[in-house]
A and B are shown apart, each in its own frame.
Chain A
Amino acid sequence: MGDKMGIVFEMAGKEIYIHDSVVNSWVIVILLSIFAIYVGNKAKKAKPNEKPKGILNIIEIVVEGIQSLVSSTMGPDKMKFAPYILTLAMYLAVANLFGLLGFTPPTSDYNVTLALAIITFVLTQYYGLKSKGLKGYVKGYFEPVFLLFPLNLLGELANPVSLSFRLFGNILSGVIIMGLLYSALGLVAPLITPVFHAYFDIFSGLIQTFIFMMLTMVFISMAMDD
C-alpha cells in the first residue's frame, strides 16, 4: 500500500507517473501476445489430418473446453462470444497468478477490475439492445409494473459494481493477508506461507477467473434471451 509504486519519469518538464498495475498489465499482455503469435504460427503449419502434439495438444484441449463451456452456458447460437471469453480467461488467470512471482497482481487494483466489468456491462447492454430491439429493450426496464423502473435501473447498474468488487475484494484480501503473514512471520515465513500461497493465489485466483467468465456469459445470454 505504498503511495508511489510503478514507473515515474519526466517528460517535457512534467512528472508522469505510471501505476504498477498498468506496468504489470502491459507485461502480461505482451507475454500473452507473444505466446498467441507463437501458437498461431504453429497451428498454421500443423497438418490437419495428423494428431496435434506438444503445446498444440494442450491449446486444443483448452479451446475445446472453452467452446463446450460457452455452448452449454449460453447456447450453441452464441458461439461467437467464445474468443472473448477465452481472452478474458487467459488475462485473468495470468493476472491472478502473478502474485506467485512476487509482483502485485494487477487485479488487486480497482481500476483494472472496474474496466473489465465495464467491458462486460457494455457488451450486455449492446447485445441486449441488438437482439431485443429498442422497443423490447426499453420495455424490459418497465416490467412487470411501470413503477419498478428505478429498481430495474439500479439492479442493472449494480451488476458491474458487484462483478468488479468481487474480483477486487478477493484478490486484494489475498494480497493483504500475504503481506501481513510475511511481515508477521519474518524469517520462518518460507516454511508456512506456501500453504497460503496455494489457497489465496492459485485456488482463489482460478476460482475468481472462472466466476468472472461464468457471470459474464450468464449476463450476456440473459440480456439476449427472453
Chain B
Amino acid sequence: MIQGISNEAFILGCSAIGAGLAMIAGIGPGIGQGYAAGKAAEGVGRQPEAQGDIIKTMILGQAVAETTGIYGLVIAIILLFVRPLLGAL
C-alpha cells in the first residue's frame, strides 16, 4: 500500500473516481435525447397538427434512450453510498 494511506481511504477514493467515471455514461443519453428532441421539433414544424402524437412518441423514445444513462447513475450511487468494495477488504 502507498505510504500513509489506509486501505479504507484508498478504496473510498477509488470508489469516488469510479463513480465519476461511471457518470461519463451520461454523454450518450444526452446526445441521443437531444437528437430525438431536435427531430421531434422538425416534425412539429412540418406537421403542427400532429404535435400531440409526436411529443408522446418522442418522450417514449427518450425514456428508452435514457436507460443506459440511468444504469451509469445507479452504479455511481452504489459506489458512493453502498460501498460494496469495502466489504472485500
Seen from chain A, the residues whose Cβ lies within 8 Å of a Cβ on chain B are 1, 73, 162, 165-166, 168-170, 172-173, 176, 207, 210-211, 214-215, 218
Q: Mark contacts of B11-48 with chain A using CB atoms, 8 A cut-off: 1 yes-contact digit, 0 otherwise.
A: 00000000000000000000000000000000000000
Interface of B is mostly: helix
| A214 interface neighbour in B63, B66, B74, B81, Cβ under 8 Å | B63
Cα A76 to Cα B55 with chains together (Å)? 21
| Complex alpha-carbon distance, A120 and B74, angstroms | 21
With both beta carbons as reference points, the residue of chain A lying nearest to B53 in the complex is identified as A72
Task: Flag if B67 contacts A162 (CB, 8 Å).
Answer: yes
Q: How far is the CA of A168 from the CA of B73 in the complex (A)?
A: 10
What is the interface of chain B, defined by CB distance below 8 A to chain A?
56, 59-60, 63, 66-67, 70-71, 73-74, 77, 81
Nearest residue (CB) in B for A215 is: B63
CB proximity of A64 to chain B, nearest CB, Å? 15
Q: Could you jot down 16 A-B contacts, CB within 8 Å? A: A1-B81, A165-B74, A166-B63, A166-B67, A169-B74, A169-B77, A170-B70, A172-B77, A176-B77, A210-B59, A211-B59, A211-B60, A211-B63, A214-B60, A215-B60, A218-B60
Give the total number of A-B pairs whose CB atoms are below 8 A apart: 34
List residues of chain A with CB within 8 A of the CB of B60: 211, 214-215, 218
CB distance from B86 to the nearest CB of A (A): 15
**Given that A176-B77, A211-B63, A214-B63 are known contacts, is A165 also in contact with B70, CB under 8 Å in the complex?**
yes
Least Cβ–Cβ distance between B37 and chain A, in angstroms: 13
| Chain B proximity of A75: nearest CB distance (Å) | 15
8 tightest Cβ-Cβ pairs between the two chains A and B: A169-B70, A211-B63, A162-B67, A169-B73, A165-B70, A166-B70, A214-B60, A169-B74
